[in-house]
Structure 1
């Protein structure tokens, strides 16, 4: 999930926010996750929401794809959940 000013969007139930170095993921996936978080920061305002329906849709589409890729890289020992706006 994304949070304001959080440059890394992976969290755990036990510890909350994590760092990219906590995860053994491919560099391309790490890059896409960071870009997804940056996109959220650029287009979502805590008071007003998304700056456009298109930005919201793009964020959602990428989030769904990242969820799939992350679950595949982590494997069945992880319970990967996607939380969107």
Structure 2
């Protein structure tokens, strides 16, 4: 789902799947719906389990690795024109 203010993505990762470190210009929330992931948020590594979530400022480098089969809800906050905005 995407509006001018935000984009919501259901992300399904099979066990041991990795998304390499990257950056998103807009602020994001990552909510673990089921399963467990490890987030590398330099210089920290955290685990998210079902029903846990985290917030990242826009531009924060992060990578994701699924420990088990996992479903996540990723929300990206946009600037109202459909572009990422890290100043929300």
Which structure would you say has the larger RCO, counting Cα contacts within 8 Å and 6 or more residues apart? 2
Higher helix content, 1 or 2: 1
| TM-score for both structures, normalised by structure 1 | 0.24
Higher strand content, 1 or 2: 2
